[in-house]
Amino acid sequence: MPDFDVIIIGAGPAGSATALQAGRAGLRVLLVDARPFPRDKSCSDSLSAAVIAQVRDLGLEDRLLALDHVPVREISFFAPDGAAVTVPVLKIDSQARARGMICRRILFDEMLFEAARELENVTGLDWCCATDILVQGGRACGVTVDRGGGRMESFTAQVLVGADGANSFLARRMAMPRYPEYRIIAAQAYYRQVIGLRGHMEVHFPEEALPGYLWMHPTRTSQTNVGLALPLEAWQEKRHSLERVLAEALASPTLRERFAFAEQMGKTQVRILPVGNTLREIHGQGFLLVGDAAGLATPCSTEGVANALISARIAAEVLVEACRSGDASADGLVGYPGRLWREIGDALQMSRRLLTLRTPKAIGSLIRSAARRPHNAGWISGVLIGSALPSEELNDLLGYLNFFNR
């Protein structure tokens, strides 16, 4: 008999949420993470309305709201030509008590990890690094971990879950395809003394960053989380370091005065994220992948937490079925990608199409239209997170952008 029903490698939002839901369903779960908690992660610190809706479904809304955070009710968008508009954050869940928030990942991730390992049948081990995947007959069946001080242990399970990020050890060990054409590169740093930040999120589209974007998010520590993200191919065409692209964007006419007295706190963090596409293989013999390990970031916004939590919910449902039936083969787990792509596939494809239409002319026209017609203001959110709008409105938005890109 295996030591556990499920072993999850990686205790970020996707891994911890999978453990929480699988544990609540009665499965015996081992959840391991290579780093000690609490641990931080380079991120925009933004938790969208979609994330809050998923956290509410997990029954953790009270815990989330108790964390140190900045509530966000509005987003300001800035075009390359200086046009600007401020729009409300749309609620995904009408019962949620928050529209959006800025919350450090060191707090959010620990909240989910602790919620998971409070369950009696979930064993949560941090500072526990997976060093090998046990494979029998081509099927993943366990893991060897280093618990520090030369303590090596092996555990077996019916199913393994890779929740260990964009460079997933489990995915590499099981020879999963890499999909280099579906990647985003992002740079992020903290600044203090940024002028004119009004307490809500800002999204800028300086020409230096297109078709990507630049974010400015206020934190509770009077610092501003500043970052830039763009498709890897677009960055490679610029032939500059991403830190230089970010510096050029901050020196643009729209932002130059805002950062005249700003001081950067710490180093600029650069990372590469795989973005979602429905052709990606995310399961195999005895294992499946969730969150960044499955490459689920949204192309337009690079936001990955919402899709990570969705993948965790669907993964937990499939894990319960597989463990109870005793079939954790690739065929037994095939319901996971099928259900996941049905839920988020259309939004991912639409987001990728919107990304290709981000030009100075189209974005400027869209922002000026939203400023003149408040009832259309929600459209601008579709440029950033296409899933925030109904499909018929997104199709209208695509037509609008295509017109201005002729």
| pLDDT confidence of residue 377 | 62
Lowest-pLDDT choice from 77-81, 165-169, 293-297: 77-81
| pLDDT confidence of residue 334 | 97
Mean pLDDT of 92-121: 93
pLDDT band, very low/low/confident/very high, at 376 (cuts 50, 70, 90): low
Look at residue 393 and tell me whether its pLDDT is greater than 60.
no
Residue bearing the bigger pLDDT, 165 or 252? 165
Mean pLDDT of 122-139: 97
The rounded Cα 173 to chain-centroid distance in angstroms is 23
| pLDDT confidence of residue 45 | 93
Angstrom distance (rounded) from CA 357 to CA 395: 13
Residue bearing the bigger pLDDT, 131 or 86? 131
pLDDT band, very low/low/confident/very high, at 128 (cuts 50, 70, 90): very high
| pLDDT confidence of residue 165 | 95
Tokens found for residue 181 = 């054409």
pLDDT band, very low/low/confident/very high, at 147 (cuts 50, 70, 90): very high
| pLDDT confidence of residue 56 | 96
Angstrom distance (rounded) from CA 375 to CA 367: 13
Residues 6+ apart with CB under 8 A from 242: 185, 186, 187, 228, 235, 270
pLDDT band, very low/low/confident/very high, at 388 (cuts 50, 70, 90): very low
Task: Express as a percent the part of the chain with pLDDT over 70.
Answer: 92
pLDDT tens string 183-236? 999 999 999 999 988 778 999 999 888 999 999 999 887 899 999 999 998 898
Q: What is the 3-state secondary structure (H, E, C) of the chain?
A: CCCEEEEEECCCHHHHHHHHHHHHCCCCEEEECCCCCCCCCCCCCEECHHHHHHHHHCCCHHHHHHCCCEEECEEEEECCCCCEEEEECCCCCCCCCCCEEECCHHHHHHHHHHHHHCCCCEEEECCCEEEEEEEECCEEEEEEEECCCCCEEEEEEEEEEECCCCCCHHHHHCCCCCCCCCEEEEEEEEEECCCCCCCCEEEECCCCCCCCEEEEEECCCCEEEEEEEEEHHHHHHHCCCHHHHHHHHHCCCCCCHHHCCCEEEEEEEEEEEEECCCCCCCEECCEEECHHHHCCECCCCCCCHHHHHHHHHHHHHHHHHHHHHCCCCCCCCCHHHHHHHHHHHHHHHHHHHHHHCCCHHHHHHHHHHHHHCHHHCHHHHHHHCHHHCCHHHHHHHHHHHHHHCC
Angstrom distance (rounded) from CA 61 to CA 89: 18
Look at residue 302 and tell me whether its pLDDT is greater than 50.
yes
pLDDT band, very low/low/confident/very high, at 110 (cuts 50, 70, 90): very high
pLDDT tens string 28-57? 999 999 999 999 888 899 998 889 999 999
pLDDT band, very low/low/confident/very high, at 392 (cuts 50, 70, 90): low
Look at residue 384 and tell me whether its pLDDT is greater than 70.
no
The rounded Cα 112 to chain-centroid distance in angstroms is 15
Q: Quote the CATH superfamily of domain 4-54+103-179+276-350.
A: FAD/NAD(P)-binding domain (3.50.50.60)
CB atoms within 10 A of CB 315: 32
**Side chain identity at 209, as an amino acid letter?**
A
In terms of residues, how long is the chain? Answer: 406
Mean pLDDT of the chain: 90
pLDDT tens string 238-273? 878 899 889 989 998 889 999 999 999 999 999 999
Q: How do the domains of the chain map onto residue ranges?
A: 4-54+103-179+276-350, 360-404
Task: Express as a percent the part of the chain with pLDDT over 90.
Answer: 63
Look at residue 293 and tell me whether its pLDDT is greater than 60.
yes
Mean pLDDT of 3-28: 98
Look at residue 113 and tell me whether its pLDDT is greater than 70.
yes
| pLDDT confidence of residue 386 | 47
Mean pLDDT of 285-314: 94
Look at residue 308 and tell me whether its pLDDT is greater than 80.
yes
pLDDT tens string 231-240? 998 898 887 8
Residue bearing the bigger pLDDT, 44 or 92? 44
Angstrom distance (rounded) from CA 260 to CA 386: 33
